[in-house]
Structure formats: C-alpha cells, structure tokens
Structure 1
Amino acid sequence: MPSVVCIASGGLDSICYAAVLAQNHDIYMITFAYGQRARREIDAARRFARILKAEHKLVDIAFMKSLYGSTNVLTDESKKLSTEFEQSLVVPARNAIFISIAGAWALSIGAVKVAYGAHLDDVPHYADCRPEFARAMEEALNLADADSIGAGKRQSVQVISPAAGGLDKQALLKAGHKILDGRLFSTWSCYSNGVRKNRQYVHCGQCESCINRKAAFKGAQIDDRTRYAA
C-alpha cells in the first residue's frame, strides 16, 4: 500500500482523517508540541497511533511559543479563549510549518502523501486550511527536492486534506466514527488543557472548538459521549 504521513494533533478531525486513510495506506503519524496550551491532545495522538498501529513521531517545536508571543490564544495562556471564531484563534503559519516538517519526513521515507485534517468548515476562517494553500505547499515541497525527484532517488509527494476532497466536519466525523466507533470519544478537541471534574480532566465545553465538536456530533446524529464540564 502507498504510505502517507498524517499530521495528527489528537483532535477529532485529524484522527478521523488518519483512520480513513489507514484503510488503504500505510500511515505514519506526526504530532507537534508547539507550545499549545492543550497538551492533552498530544496524549490523545499517542493513543490513536497505537490504535491505528502507526509509527508515531512527536516533534518538539515549543520554541515557537516565544516567537508567537501574544498573537494567538492557543499558545498564550494569559488570553481568554473565545466561544466563537475570532482572529486570535489563528496561529501564524502553523500548517505551513507542520506540512514542511511532515513533508521532509515523507520525502525521506518514500511516502507519497502528506495529510492534514483541514475540512470545508475550516476554509472560511483559516487560510492555511484552503485547498489552494495545500497545492502551493505541495509544489514547494517538490521544488525543494526537485533534483532528487528528477533523478529517481526520491518520490514526489502530494499534500491532501478533507477540504481538498470536498468533506466538511460532519462528513469527516461520520467516516471516522464508522471506523473507530466509541474510541473516537477519547480524541481531544478542547483548546484548553481541560477542566478537572470528578478527579479527571474533561473538555471545557465552552471554547469555540468544544462548541464545534458538539455541533458536529449533533449534525451527524451521533450520540456525543464526550465528557464536558459545561
């Protein structure tokens, strides 16, 4: 089977996409510690790498937090998380960094695809989730190693996403749930690092990502067994 490097945060979207791709690809999962406040998503990514029997790499780029400064709420814990989309949720060039590193791994191991979980509902708000961005990154990766690819020493790579395939969050969720069933509820979507409730950390239930998660399960008519604080 062809190989794909899947960028996996541990959240609902990236894990659903990795599960779908695992049906007809050998998958390699890569997760980034970029100074995000939601560190529990990293544990979720590790868990699903085991479930999907994928080789998994955790890449520590936490130094990015100091570069980002106060530009966004995902790495600046002094800022309040919003309940709906606002520009403070945009982490500058995050997917460009992730895809570049994942692409280097893909080119090194002969994987023919780099995948990330951007879907159609991300497109209006996040420029680095749009199909034209994915195509530009694909072109840049292949240009970066054009001589080796031209000489037959490496394979060109394709950058793929649910958005490029015409999938919105609900459709992606349905596809992932069909494969993972109840295990899907151990993904971590919350932008916070959780709220302690009955000796366990659960999703806050109030941030923009938690609200989108709730809406996706409701829209897909799947009983949401995620534990929320609110």
Structure 2
Amino acid sequence: MQKIKKFSVILLLIALSSLMLISCEKEKATPQESAKIFLDVTFKNDKTNIDKIGLTEKDYASFRKEIEDGIMQGIAEGNTDSSIITDEIKNNLKADFIKGFSKIDYKVNTISTDKDTAEVEVKVRGFDMKKIIDNSMAKMKEEVNKNPSMTEKQIYQSAFKMIGEDIAKGTLVQEPKSVKLTLTKKDNVWLPESETNYSDDMLSAIMSE
C-alpha cells in the first residue's frame, strides 16, 4: 500500500511549491475561490480560471508537466523492480491516476479570513483504497485459480493493472474527509502555505484506507 501511495506525496508537494512561484498585479479571487481553482488545476486538469490565481498558459503547461513527472517519479521510486514495473506499466498507471484524480469529489468552504491570511476547509471524497485493493485481490485469486501456472511477475503485473483500472473508474469513499488549508496573500494572490501539514492531510483524504 505504501508503494502505491508514495507518489501522491510527491505530487502534492510539487503542486504546492509550484504555486508559490505565481504572482499577479491585483486580487482576482477570494481564498475559497483560489483554493478551488488550485484543486481544479491539480486534480481535474481544469485551467478555466487559471488567470484568477495568476497562472499563464506557460505556467499551466509547466505546472502540469511537474505533476505528471511527479507521478512517474513516485511510481518508479515506490516500485524499484523494473522487470515487473515496466515503462508500459508505469505509463498505464500514470494515465489511470490522472483519470481517477479527475473524478475525486471536493467542496471548499471558508473558515476565516483576515488581511493576509485565510483558512478554508476542503471536504474530500477520495479513493476508497481498501475497496480497490480488496476488489483487486478477489479478481486476482480468480485469475490465479483459472491459470495456476502464472508466474510471480505475471501476478504482480495483473494486480497493478486491476488496481489502476479501479482507480481510473473513480472508486471513491462515501463519506468525505475534512482537510484544513491555510492560504496567505502574496502579491495580491491567495496561495497555499507550503509549510503546513496540508500535503499529508490531503494524501490521507484522497487515498483513504
């Protein structure tokens, strides 16, 4: 499980550090709106309102590349056996996660706002990893029973494929988890604080066990 989840930490840290480089001339979005736009760009690849948080098309393209590179890095670091986790499997897993991320459900509400600091609550329905793993194990047992000559390599590769498929479908928990996010105004743009526990909390919410 830790191998499957590890890349998400990298993804979210990259997202936070990338957004800290953004600035604009005047405030275009409230803290609640800024948090929602940030999440939409990160998870849904939605660039509709990127100008409101100071992102240009060039910034956006760079930001998305960082996210996709982070996913690949996390998959590679979490699973070092290249004979099992081939480039094809890595690319398929990356595509599955990107598709699954687009189906994560979240709502943002403002908790408090003052001159330069704000706190918002993000209620997230993330992946139901217990259900995804349990489903994959059940399917894997059936497959092994049908084909007992499967090698360990084939079993692992089939398991990754099944897990990826369930993630891509957007198998989510029923009850949302609450994540608090602190934003600070920098050059009139509300940005997430990189020094908070946001990444760990969001990771727990989107990869629920």
Q: Is TM-score (shorter-chain normalized) higher than 0.5?
A: no
Between 1 and 2, higher relative CO (CA 8 Å, sep ≥ 6) is seen in 2
TM-score bracket, shorter-length normalisation: under 0.3
The structure with the largest alpha-carbon Rg is 2
Normalization by structure 1: what TM-score?
A: 0.25
Give the alignment's TM-score, normalised by structure 2.
Answer: 0.27
